[in-house]
A = this chain, B = another copy of it.
Amino acid sequence: MGTEGMDEASNMKVVLKHYISGSAQETDMNLTAGTIKLKAPLGSNALVVKNLFLSCDPDMIFKMTGHKREHCDPYTLGSPLTGYGVAKVLDSAHPDFAMDDLVWGITGWEEYSLISDTKNLIKIKNTDVPLSYYTGILGMPGLTAYVGFYELCAPKKGDYVFVSAACGAVGQLLGQFAKLHGCHVVGSAGSPDQVNLLKNKFGFNEAFNYKQEPDYNATLKRYCPEGIDIYFDNVGGKMLDAVLLNLRPHACIVMCGKTSQYHLEHPEGIQNLPSTVTKEARIRGYLAVNYYHLYPKFLEIILTLIKESKVVYVEDISDGLETAQKALVGIINGLNIGKQVVAVNCL
């Protein structure tokens, strides 16, 4: 009993105060103090972890709205947010995990977490890269880009590829895969700095700031005058509708996410789907979580590409859990330069 008491630690957490309507604000969340027992309950299969890096992802904004949608339950008010993160195991009641193991997967926005659902938790074996990369290029966004590009859209050299939200973890990697494949790549992003990164760091042929474009159809005709063979849709809404008017024959639209729609109760209507008939286009939706079996193959490929400097990766690391609220809200406003991550603790 005395020992258990000694294992209790203070635990700062980012909790949701109320469900949001409209855009997310920092003040929709609170940083609150709590405590946690650092022992995994015996016979529970659970882990207690120390969180190292937390990923800021657009679907977190949707979970803050309180709207229920399949595969996307709302956050519980007063509980810490959850999302992808990198963590170190402090105590394990699970046979596959041991103290000091490094893992990535779903964890809490707090200093320490008790993780009961270990099904999709992956042990980190390669530590000669920044650990934060496992929230992005080496984690779910990386797998998302890999599956979307290589498994779903049958890309060909010379294809015209357009990526929205191209500065995010998925987008920057998708664009680089497409360039490595010999495609012509255009990206959209939400700030001049992001556009600069796309053109000068990730090697996109063209990039534009969607916030300065009043008419996406005209914008796409300007930046993709030949039309679009492959579109990686990270935003949905009006951009998707404009893309549908600019498809080349047999185009493929890969549905990665709906950033522009996450805060809306009723998504914007897409009017131009009839173009899929006249252009004989395909639309493919997918969940990278169902392609975990490809993760080892993907990891081998991407680690090699990183080591050979054939892909680059840019992160925007916000230091300390006390900066997490600002960092999360920032991704919606395009304030991040590269993949937004929060560093919780030092190792």
Instruction: Give Cα A240 to B276, complex, Å.
Output: 14
Q: Are B267 and A274 in contact (CB under 8 A)?
A: yes
Q: Decide if A257 is an interface residue (CB 8 Å cutoff).
A: yes
Q: Say which residue of B70, B236, B266, B273 sits within 8 Å of A236 (CB atoms).
A: B273
- Complex: A277 Cα to B274 Cα, angstroms: 19
Enumerate chain B residues within 8 angstroms of A273, measured Cβ to Cβ.
236, 240, 255, 267, 270, 283
Least CB distance from A71 to B in Å reads 5
Find residues 245-261 in chain A having any chain B CB closer than 8 Å to their own CB: 255-258, 261
A125 at the interface (CB under 8 A from B): no
Contact with B along A275-307 (1 / 0, CB 8 A): 111111111111100100000000000000000
- Nearest Cβ distance between residue A133 and chain B, in whole angstroms? 25
In the complex, chain B residues whose CB is within 8 Å of the CB of A285: 275-282
Q: A268-B269, A271-B268, A283-B283 are in contact. Are A277 and B290 (CB under 8 A)?
A: no
Which A residues, 28 to 69, have Cβ-Cβ distances below 8 Å to chain B?
Answer: 69
- Compute how far the CA of A49 lies from the CA of B255 in the bound complex, rounded to whole angstroms: 48
Q: Is the CB of B287 within 8 A of A278?
A: yes
Cα distance, A70 to B249, chains bound together (Å): 12
Assembly stoichiometry (copies): 2
Selected from B70, B236, B278, the residue in CB contact (under 8 A) with A69 is B278
- Residues B282 and A290 in contact, CB atoms below 8 Å apart: no
Q: Is the CB–CB distance between A261 and B283 below 8 Å?
A: no
Contact call B283/A290, Cβ cutoff below 8 A? no
Instruction: Tell me which residues across on chain B come within 8 A of A275, comparing CB atoms.
Output: 70, 285
How many Å lie between the Cα of A272 and that of B277 in the bound state? 18
Which 3 A-B pairs have CB atoms at the shortest separation, nearest pair first? A269-B269, A276-B285, A283-B283
A contact residues vs B (CB 8 Å cutoff): 69-72, 236, 240, 255-258, 261, 266-287, 290
Given contacts A267-B272, A273-B283, A283-B283, 17 further A-B contacts (CB under 8 A): A70-B275, A70-B279, A71-B278, A72-B278, A236-B273, A236-B274, A240-B273, A256-B277, A257-B277, A258-B277, A266-B271, A267-B271, A267-B273, A270-B270, A275-B285, A277-B286, A277-B287
